[in-house]
Amino acid sequence: GDSVTQMEGPVTLSEEAFLTINCTYTATGYPSLFWYVQYPGEGLQLLLKATKADDKGSNKGFEATYRKETTSFHLEKGSVQVSDSAVYFCARGVKAAGNKLTFGGGTRVLVKP
């Protein structure tokens, strides 16, 4: 079935370090891909998205490229801040499946000053 696999956390970094969170997905149904961020005690916020192969989503210094050949959508940020501490979720969705999103397990990121 449809699935999303992302690296387990927690990931602990120092401020200004480079962040990468790996995400792979099942390719059935030409999915759109998303990264969501969840701050403590809050719901999810869309961070970025890509709808087709080779698309690059970007927002707030974060980037992810839809790689069809490796079925990956890795999230990167060149210089993290303490305020980036949160849980990040990779997700896939297919309109043909009723627009339902399938989420990865989430990766907790902790940025220390």
Partner 1 sequence: GAVVSQHPSRVICKSGTSVKIECRSLDFQATTMFWYRQFPKQSLMLMATSNEGSKATYEQGVEKDKFLINHASLTLSTLTVTSAHPEDSSFYICSARDPGSRNYGYTFGSGTRLTVV
Q: Is 34 helix (H, G, I), strand (E, B) or coil?
A: strand
Report d(CA 60, CA 2) in Å as an integer. 29
67 near partner 1, judged by CB under 8 A = no
106 near partner 1, judged by CB under 8 A = yes
Contact 7, 34 (CB under 8 A): no
41 near partner 1, judged by CB under 8 A = yes
Binding residue (CB under 8 A) for partner 1 from 28, 42, 53, 54: 42
Binding residue (CB under 8 A) for partner 1 from 34, 62, 73, 88: 34
Nearest alpha carbon to residue 62 among 78, 77, 79: 77
Stretch that binds partner 1, among 11-19, 20-28, 37-45, 62-70 (CB under 8 A): 37-45
99 near partner 1, judged by CB under 8 A = yes
Four-point Cα dihedral 69, 74, 76, 82, nearest 10: 180
45 near partner 1, judged by CB under 8 A = yes
Report d(CA 96, CA 19) in Å as an integer. 33
Query: Which residues contact partner 1 (rule: CB under 8 A)?
Result: 32, 34, 36, 41-46, 49, 51, 89, 93, 98-106, 108
